[in-house]
Structure 1
Amino acid sequence: MYSRKFLIKPPSSSSNQMSRLCAFGRLPIFLGLVLLTQFAAASQRCEVPKESVNILMFMPDERRGSFWLAANHFAKAVASDFGISLRVVEVEEPENNRVAFESLVKRALGNTSYEQPDFIISMLYGGGELSQLSLFNQHNIPFITINSSLDKRTLQLMEHPREQFVNWIAHMSPNERLAGKQIVDALTVDANFKQLAIIGGYTHSSVNNHRIMGAIERAQQIGLSVVPPVYTNWTKAESMKAANALLRRAPDFDLLLTIGPDIAAGSIEVMQSAGKNVTVGSFDWAASNVNLVERGLLEASLGGHFMEAGWAMILAYDYLHGLDFIDETGPLIDTELGLLNAHNVANISPLIAEHKWQNIDFKVYSKCVNSVLIHYDFSLLQEN
């Protein structure tokens, strides 16, 4: 089996892209996920649209962070355009571990007061991926997993989608280790630093760990000393405590990497209060990170993957109507995050900060609905 890569990239004004998108009367203004493939148009034809499509989605409670708030809003906007009946089961703090999450999944799928879903979209919890895939698979409902960093060892145990677990249709997730390297590159391209400090999230989070591993690898390659990372529960309050502890333990760092947006918000507040002059980088295009970039307090942030749930929903819609995306995307859809900084924040801010998804017609991304679409091209567009 094989994989294809989605790239989250800056707005492009190239003539090829402009002419292609003008067929829909739209122009690109914003970064999105662009599928980098050169396959011929699918010979399949879309089946007659179902009267209703029911999708069940498992997603962390939007109150647990600005990333999940944006992801939730984006997914609901996509569902609205397609007339999809979307049921979001929010994973609240007590279920924020693999054992409790699996119990939540069992309750949700066993709840007879809801109609049986046609498709499931979910993240996975680190350390329990195999049992979670088995749990989803046994219900004989096709599903896509998203936003979960899987290493080679885990994939060897699970095999690829459509192999051991036949109802596991695809996995869409960023290359978090690569992202860790890329954010260090972005932060150091025009400046010389001596010491990198890192404030991370949960130690059991594969996303957190892979980002940190990539960042440390790149920092060491370019000669930066690295302070041992400190960890939090991803919240602003805990991040403020961690930042204060970091200042006491290693006050000489001049570059700070925060592994999530709420960590960035808390850490920057502490740095300002302490009068600490430090360059800060982060991950995610959450509204708080957009605001920090606009204010000049955050140098750069890699993100855009909050949109994965919405894009997975479009692939699910086409799949349920007889158009399988496998020949174009492969079973492993690898997303490479895009850079948010002072140069492009004006383009990104209106959509992220204000959630103006209602201005976007998401149906143009579906091969079923948009009969002239040859390749999946998940670039966010807006009327010119």
Structure 2
Amino acid sequence: MRTARAVACVVWVAVSGLYVPGAHAGEKIRVTFINPDKPGNPFWDALTEFMQAAASDLDIDLQVRHAGGGRFSASNLAQEILQSDPKPDYLVYIPQVREIGRTLQAAEAAKVRSFAINTDVLPEDKILVGAPGDTYKYWIGHMFPNDVQAGRDLALVLLRESRAKYPGKTAQVIGVSGSRDSAAAVDRNTGLESAVSQFENTQLNQIVFAGWDPQDAQLRTAGLLKRYPQTRVLWAASDAMALGMVTAARAQGRTPGSDVFIGGVDWSDAGLVAIAQGDLVASMGGHFMEGGWAMVLLHDYHHGRDFSSALGSTIRSEMQVIHKGNVLSYRKSFSGKYADAIDFRKFSRVLNPGLKKYDFSLKAVLNASKQ
């Protein structure tokens, strides 16, 4: 899982796209988004809310379908959608491990253009499907966060905090990750390992997988802290699991923020509260906005301006860190129904011909108020 509230700088990797002629006047763009979970998941709810606000501003008919979280449920739902009548103009979805090829084949057969967000494709799948536009011409775009960078930057923040409080002491680390078949989890683990290798006097005791489940993370952390009692850095691949680590640490008499330093990924509401209270040191995030940016890019593509000519078809977003020094200002700007206050029309190059590039930075979001 992940949970977040803003986007940082974006690195664009050029790949060819599939041009589509301008839309007929008065026609609404029909987009279906497959939310991989059921309602109530903080990250996917935040992503969907941001996406719906963008669709409303851009006059897009967005249908959200929930897959429910099962391993094959999202790809099965994609088959159903792509065989429906009428079909959507575009399908937006999260790449599923060993299932993305099935989804792309179905979209190709249905001649429905698809746009993947939020997760990279694992190497074994990438061999089969390639990049957007390579094997599947109706796969027009893929936007996903740099999870290696997120895992590394989170680890470095935690290691520096430990070093500041315990100078000269070896910083022992344990990591609790998501699921083994998640590209995001695997990449975040790689980032953690990279940070440990470059940070002096640091020891990575163990990384375990908890399937994104905070209760499982709590149980596994309890066992790891008994096995490695000198551990001071607890790294989690999500905020929810980081909060499970907080509970486990307290149960063993540890004080988060004082003798153990914990952080996660997602910018979840609960995670940000924990940062403000000192239980978590930091959270990486920003990737929940990708659904909204997909709406902007599909709007422009549908109206004859192919985003790949400016951005490429494979788009990497960089996560940013929220810590005690900036958490209050962030929460002030992004409280309540903040997405409804953003004018997403300001990000469109079709609606703003003077825009020389797409800018999905946090600064641009803060400057895009409807007021």
TM-score by length of 2: 0.85
Give how far 1:300 is off. Answer: 1.2
8 A Cα contact 2:47 2:291, kept in partner: yes
Corresponding residue number in structure 2 for 1:209: 186
8 A Cα contact 1:350 1:356, kept in partner: no
Give how far 1:363 is off. Answer: 0.7
- Cα 1:36/1:240, change in 2 over 3 Å: closer
Corresponding residue number in structure 2 for 1:32: 7
SS at match of 1:363: helix
Corresponding residue number in structure 1 for 2:228: 250
- Cα 1:182/1:57, change in 2 over 3 Å: same
Calculate the aligned-residue CA RMSD, in Å. 2.4
Pair 1:303 & 2:281 matched: no
Pair 1:262 & 2:247 matched: no
- Cα 1:239/1:152, change in 2 over 3 Å: closer
Pair 1:314 & 2:290 matched: no
Q: 2:115 aligns with which of 132, 141, 144?
A: 144
Corresponding residue number in structure 2 for 1:331: 313
Amino acid at match of 1:381: L
- Cα 1:49/1:260, change in 2 over 3 Å: farther
Give how far 1:74 is off. Answer: 0.9
SS at match of 1:257: strand
Q: Distance in 2 between matches of 1:53 and 1:145?
A: 17
Q: 1:86 aligns with which of 53, 62, 81?
A: 62
8 A Cα contact 1:285 1:352, kept in partner: no
Corresponding residue number in structure 2 for 1:381: 366
TM-score by length of 1: 0.83
Q: 1:176 aligns with which of 147, 153, 157?
A: 147
SS at match of 1:197: strand
8 A Cα contact 1:303 1:338, kept in partner: yes
Q: Distance in 1 between matches of 2:289 and 2:333?
A: 12
Give how far 1:250 is off. Answer: 2.1
- Cα 1:100/1:46, change in 2 over 3 Å: closer
Unaligned runs of at least 5 residues, structure 2:
15-19, 164-169
SS at match of 1:324: coil
8 A Cα contact 1:46 1:368, kept in partner: no
Corresponding residue number in structure 1 for 2:329: 347
Corresponding residue number in structure 2 for 1:370: 352
SS at match of 1:313: helix
Q: Distance in 2 between matches of 1:353 and 1:241?
A: 32
Amino acid at match of 1:141: V
Q: 2:218 aligns with which of 240, 247, 268?
A: 240
Pair 1:289 & 2:271 matched: yes
Pair 1:103 & 2:76 matched: yes
- Cα 1:65/1:241, change in 2 over 3 Å: farther
Q: 1:196 aligns with which of 173, 194, 199?
A: 173
Unaligned runs of at least 5 residues, structure 1:
1-29
Amino acid at match of 1:32: V
Corresponding residue number in structure 1 for 2:46: 70
CA deviations over 1:243-299 (Å, ceiling 9, x no partner): 222223322210000111211122212222322131011111111211111111111
- Cα 1:127/1:107, change in 2 over 3 Å: same
- Cα 1:286/1:331, change in 2 over 3 Å: same
8 A Cα contact 1:283 1:303, kept in partner: yes
Corresponding residue number in structure 2 for 1:279: 261
SS at match of 2:91: strand
Corresponding residue number in structure 2 for 1:359: 341
Amino acid at match of 1:75: M
SS at match of 1:127: coil
Amino acid at match of 1:257: W
Q: Distance in 1 between matches of 2:25 and 2:349?
A: 12
Q: Distance in 2 between matches of 1:141 and 1:111?
A: 11
Q: Distance in 2 between matches of 1:339 and 1:327?
A: 30
Q: 1:159 aligns with which of 91, 113, 130?
A: 130
Aligned length in residues: 345
Q: Distance in 1 between matches of 2:246 and 2:305?
A: 47
Give how far 1:376 is off. Answer: 0.6
Give how far 1:353 is off. Answer: 4.8
Q: Distance in 2 between matches of 1:376 and 1:162?
A: 21
Q: Distance in 2 between matches of 1:349 and 1:312?
A: 24
Amino acid at match of 1:87: Q
- Cα 1:90/1:284, change in 2 over 3 Å: same
Q: Distance in 1 between matches of 2:11 and 2:219?
A: 42
Give how far 1:109 is off. Answer: 2.5
* Identical pairs, percent: 26
8 A Cα contact 2:239 2:263, kept in partner: no
8 A Cα contact 2:31 2:88, kept in partner: yes
Q: Distance in 1 between matches of 2:94 and 2:26?
A: 26
8 A Cα contact 1:34 1:376, kept in partner: no
8 A Cα contact 1:183 1:302, kept in partner: yes
SS at match of 2:354: coil
